[in-house]
Amino acid sequence: MTSLTSTPYDALRIGQEATITRLCRAEDLIVFSHASGSLNPLHLPNHDGDGDGRVEALAPAAWIAALIAGVVGNHLPGPGTVYRSESLRFVGQAQAGDSLHTKVRVAQKLAGHAVRLAVSVEGPAGRVAEGEVEVSAPALRHRFDDLSVPGLVVQSHRHFDALIARAEDLPALPVIVICPESADAVMGAVQARDHGLIAPLFVGAPDKIAAAAAEAGVDIAEIEIVAVPDHRAAALRAVALIHEGRGRALMKGHLHTDEMLHAILKKEGGLRTNRRLTHVFVMDVPGQDQLLFVTDAAINIAPDLGCKVSIVQNAIDLAVSLGVARPKVGILSAVETVTTAIPSTLDAAILAKMAERGQITGGDVDGPLAMDNAVDPGAARAKGLTGLVAGRADILVAPNLEAGNMIAKELSFLAHAEAAGVVMGAQVPVILTSRADSVRARLASCAVAVILAAPARCG
C-alpha cells in the first residue's frame, strides 16, 4: 500500500524538486510492449534488434517519458495533477538493468494554476532525456492512503533460459531415446540435438520413427536408429546400450512408463542403485526468484517412509547439481502440526528428524508444512513457524503421487509455470517429457540431464 500527498498550486515554490530512482527490468520492456502494441525487437529482452549479434534490450523513449509522469503524478505536484504538454529531447539510451534517476523541478508558475516543470532522466552513462512539462497543479492539498493496483506477473521463464544456456556450454550428452514413434517424442529429441544439448540414438521401429519425423517436419537422417519393433524389447535394448557405453542418459519416447521402468529395474542388466527411482519436476514459476522442485508426482503412488527417504535425498541431490547450495525441503501435508489422524504428518516429522541426525544430507528438511506456509513467509509467520524452511521451501515433497501431480499441474495451468521432468535414482538420468510440454520445457528437461551427468563424464 502507498500513501500520496499533493502539493497545491499556492504551496509550490520555484526550484522545488522531486526525484525517484527506478531500475529498468526486462519485465518492464515486456509490459510496455503489451500496453503499447509495439513489437520493435530493439526494445524486447533476448532479441537482437539490429543484426549486430548483440541483445540491445533498449528502454523505449515512451517508457522513459512515463517515468517523468510517475514523479509528476506521485510527488510533484502529485495526485490531482493534469498534463497540458510535454517537450522532451532524448540525448542518450538506457537498457534493461540500468538504474534511472528522474528529476522534476518547478521552473515557472503560470496563470490558471499552470506550472512549467524542468525534467531530466539520468542513467549510468549520463543523461538520457531532458526537457519540460507543463501541468495544471491541484488547487487543494489531497492525501490518498492505502493506494494499490493489481499486481502483474510476466510469464517469462528466465530460470529455464539460464539452465539451458548453462547446459549448452557443456558437451552434447549421448542419449538413448526409447521409441520416439510420435511427432512430439521425435520433435523433443531433435530440438535438443539442434540446441547442442544431446547426441541422440533412437531405439524403436524404424518405419514408425520415420513416419513421426515426417509428421513433425524434422530431419533425422544423421541419427542412428537401432531397430527393435517391440516396446518392451526396445526398453531392454536401450538399457543394454547404456552398459555398452553408447549413451549416458535415457529419454522416454512413445511408450508406457512402466515398460521403461521394468527394463531399468531388472536385477540383472538393469540400472538399479541403492536408491528408489523417484520423479522430480523442476519448475520455473513466473514471479518466483528460484527454481521450484516438486516430488514425487509420477512414479511412486503411495510411498512409505523408506521410499520417502529416497524421494527427499534424490531431490536434494538434483537441486544441488543445478546450483542450489543448500536446498530447503518442505515435507507437505494438509496441516503443519503432527497428528496421528493424518499419517503423512508423522512421516514428515520423522524425515525432518532423520535430516537433523544426518540420515538425509545436503539440505535443510522441515515438516509437516501445509502448502501455504511452505512457500509464503507471511503465511509461515501467521502460524508462528520459524526455521530455515518455513515460507522458503525450494523443494516440495508431496505425501503421495496424487497430491504431487495436482501441485505440479496447478502450477503449470494456473500459475503458468513450465515444468521439466527427470527420474532420479538410476545409474544415469532418465528424461521424461509430455505431449503438453512446450519447446522450452523439453529443452529444460534435457538440460537438467546434461548438467546432472556432467560430473560423472568429467570424472
Enumerate residue ranges in the chain where pLDDT < 50: none
Full-model pTM: 0.75
- CATH code for the domain of 88: 3.10.129.10
140 CB neighbour count, 10 Å cutoff: 9
One domain for residues 125 and 222: no
> Which residue in 70, 63, 102, 82 sits closest to 9, CA to CA?
82
pLDDT in tens, 58-114: 999 999 999 999 999 999 999 999 999 999 999 999 999 899 999 999 999 999 999
Q: Which helix (H) or strand (E) holds 312?
A: helix 305-321
Whole-angstrom distance, CA of residue 342 vs CA of residue 332: 12
- Domain residues for the domain of 179 are 158-458
One domain for residues 54 and 137: yes
Phi, psi at 441, each rounded to 5°: -65, -40
Can you say how many angstroms the Cα of residue 413 is from the centroid of all Cα atoms in its chain?
Answer: 14
One domain for residues 86 and 182: no
Provide CB contacts within 8 A for 154, sequence distance 6+: 27, 30, 31, 286, 287
pLDDT at site 49: 82
One domain for residues 199 and 140: no
One domain for residues 210 and 357: yes
The verdict on residue 21 lying in a domain is yes
The verdict on residue 138 lying in a domain is yes
**Count H helices, E strands: the chain?**
13, 18
One domain for residues 434 and 374: yes
> Which residue in 454, 450, 451, 443 sits closest to 160, CA to CA?
443
One domain for residues 9 and 83: yes
Report cis status (omega within 30 of 0) of the bond before 77.
yes
The verdict on residue 152 lying in a domain is no
Whole-angstrom distance, CA of residue 207 vs CA of residue 172: 26
The verdict on residue 220 lying in a domain is yes
Give the alpha-carbon dihedral of 284, 290, 291, 293, to 10 degrees.
-120
- CATH code for the domain of 415: 3.40.718.10
- The residue with cell 495451468 is 413
Residue 418 one-letter amino acid: E
One domain for residues 89 and 184: no
One domain for residues 222 and 293: yes
The verdict on residue 127 lying in a domain is yes
DSSP 8-state code for residue 58 = B
Whole-angstrom distance, CA of residue 202 vs CA of residue 69: 59
Last residue of a domain, one of 147, 169, 192: 147
pLDDT at site 206: 95
Whole-angstrom distance, CA of residue 203 vs CA of residue 206: 8
pLDDT in tens, 156-190: 678 898 899 999 999 999 999 999 999 989 999 99
One domain for residues 313 and 416: yes
One domain for residues 123 and 173: no
pLDDT at site 408: 94
Q: Please, what is the Cα angle at 435 between 251 and 423, to 5 degrees?
A: 35
One domain for residues 176 and 82: no
Number of domains in the chain: 2
The verdict on residue 129 lying in a domain is yes
The verdict on residue 153 lying in a domain is no
Last residue of a domain, one of 123, 147, 171: 147
The verdict on residue 42 lying in a domain is yes
Give me the residues paired with residue 225 across strands: 202
